[in-house]
Amino acid sequence: MTREENQINQILNLLDEDVCTPKRVPVVPDSKSQADDCFNNVTSYVNLNGGSAVNGWRISCYPKYVEAEFHCVWENEEGDLTDITPYNPKRTEILFAPIEKFIWDGTPVQTIILNTSRSVLVDDYIVANKAIFKMRMNRFLGKSVDKDQFKDAYELLQCTLKLLSHNGTIDSKCCCNSGKLFKNCHRYLVDKVKELA
């Protein structure tokens, strides 16, 4: 079994029992679709072109972690799936695990991230993700969200993501170009953000 296959099996074990076998789905962005807005993209596309929306998990494997993000793709009359949402950087296909007979009611769904490497940096990335989700859920529920707390969590998210994209660790130089190591620089945000996660 390859590392990627092992990661996929591990994340599938954490998902709902109604999740179907993942399949490779081509990405063919619609000209009117916006990045990071798959649900509205597919709803608008179905209204214009027919077919239906299929909800599920977009699974992405990385060297140190695997994540499953709640996602929506378009299904045509023949049952073929297409991801019409654009990506940056560009993708030609995604790994998508549909959820059987699931209708999304608009409630935010937490992205599931699994650390498959014991990386402390991945743990920090997970803390930032959980904190941002909690604040988005509060906003969805009509509760107030502290702008400074959201800024801290978002900054930590972007910094850890940038370091991970270069196979970094907490001993790598910080993403802010201070010349300091991340653990001696922006990692101070972890303790602030952890209270929110």
User: What is the pLDDT at residue 50?
Assistant: 96
User: What is the pLDDT at residue 187?
Assistant: 96
User: What is the pLDDT at residue 104?
Assistant: 84
User: What is the pLDDT at residue 103?
Assistant: 80
pLDDT at 18 over 90: no
What residues contact residue 76 under an 8 Å CB cut-off, 6+ apart? 50, 51, 82
Mean pLDDT, the chain, rounded, equals 94
**132-168 confidence digits (pLDDT tens):** 999 999 999 999 999 999 999 999 999 999 999 999 9
Q: Are 91 and 25 in contact (CB under 8 A)?
A: no
Q: Are 163 and 187 in contact (CB under 8 A)?
A: no
User: What is the pLDDT at residue 196?
Assistant: 78
How many of the other CB atoms lie within 10 Å of CB of 171? 11
Secondary structure class of 51 (helix, strand, coil): coil
**185-197 confidence digits (pLDDT tens):** 999 999 999 887 7
User: What is the pLDDT at residue 186?
Assistant: 94
User: What is the pLDDT at residue 139?
Assistant: 92
